[in-house]
């Protein structure tokens, strides 16, 4: 069976642009529904796919957080090259962490983080999640159980090296949180099975933004963008974007 590879997307609409950033081991599908909703509300949206993501796990192991950050910068430049001078960013999980980094690196109108880690204190849970990701990918190839088991074991021997590189990335972002001054919306699912519930409050307390809000989603798990409360998320993100000081408003 041939696996159809996901693609980045750009949904053009009005002059206000939003950069949407996906999760670790995820791809643009993480934020596609949010993207379509915002497009209908006259926002232009662009979602890149970081190198190694949306492909075989072996390809992901060939990349690193520095490459993914470069991909985020290129995505920001892509929106600017299309003529969009006012850009907000919204990111899920790793995408939220990269959104925080973008918030103190580039000029933005606003920031949305969703189920975003700021401490590297969940290596065991991340490793289990990575193993599930590898298993699901291999199962889509309709291989035998024995072959799948061998492939998973082989990939997981190399996975810790990549997963541990998330630590220095988060350490750097955490140290720079006080540099963030723009309006910020934080969304944290209460049933998050991947990161602790202390991450979002830490971000809230340490950014320097005067306009900031932390919303808790009682029924959602980590991938909150596709979970039970996704429609609430769509409307909360839209309301936040509408509150920003866009030109001509």
Annotated catalytic residues are: 93, 192, 222
- Which tokens go with 193? 């099975």
Virtual torsion, Cα 122, 213, 39, 69, nearest 10 deg: -40
DSSP string covering 12-76 = --SS-EEEEE--TT--THHHHHHHHHHHHTT-EEEE---TTTTS-HHHHTT--HHHHHHHHHHHH
- Neighbour tally for 104: CB within 10 Å: 18
Half-sphere exposure of 139 (CA within 13 A, CB side): 6
Contact 1, 28 (CB under 8 A): no
Which residue is associated with the tokens 């929106």?
79
């Amino acid at each position: 069976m041939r696996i159809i590879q996901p693609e980045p997307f750009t949904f053009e609409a009005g002059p206000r642009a939003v950069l949407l950033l996906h999760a670790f081991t995820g791809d643009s599908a993480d934020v596609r529904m949010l993207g379509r909703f915002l497009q209908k509300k006259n926002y232009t949206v662009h979602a890149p796919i970081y190198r190694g993501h949306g492909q075989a796990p072996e390809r992901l192991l060939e990349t690193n957080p520095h490459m993914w950050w470069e991909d985020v910068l290129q995505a920001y430049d892509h929106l600017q090259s299309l003529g969009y001078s006012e850009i907000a960013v919204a990111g899920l999980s790793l995408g939220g962490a990269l959104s925080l980094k973008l918030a103190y690196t580039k000029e933005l109108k606003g920031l949305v983080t969703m189920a975003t880690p700021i401490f590297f204190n969940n290596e065991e849970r991340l490793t289990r999640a990575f193993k599930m990701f590898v298993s699901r990918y291999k199962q889509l190839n309709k291989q035998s159980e024995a072959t799948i088991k061998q492939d998973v074991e082989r990939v997981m021997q190399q996975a810790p090296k990549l997963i541990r590189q998330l630590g220095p990335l988060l350490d750097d972002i955490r140290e720079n949180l006080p540099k963030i001054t723009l309006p910020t919306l934080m969304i944290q699912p209460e049933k998050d099975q991947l990161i602790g519930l202390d991450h979002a409050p830490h971000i809230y307390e340490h950014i320097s933004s005067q306009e900031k809000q932390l919303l808790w989603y009682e029924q959602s798990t980590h991938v909150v963008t596709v979970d039970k409360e996704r429609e609430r998320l769509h409307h909360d993100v839209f309301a936040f974007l509408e509150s920003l000081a866009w030109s001509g408003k």
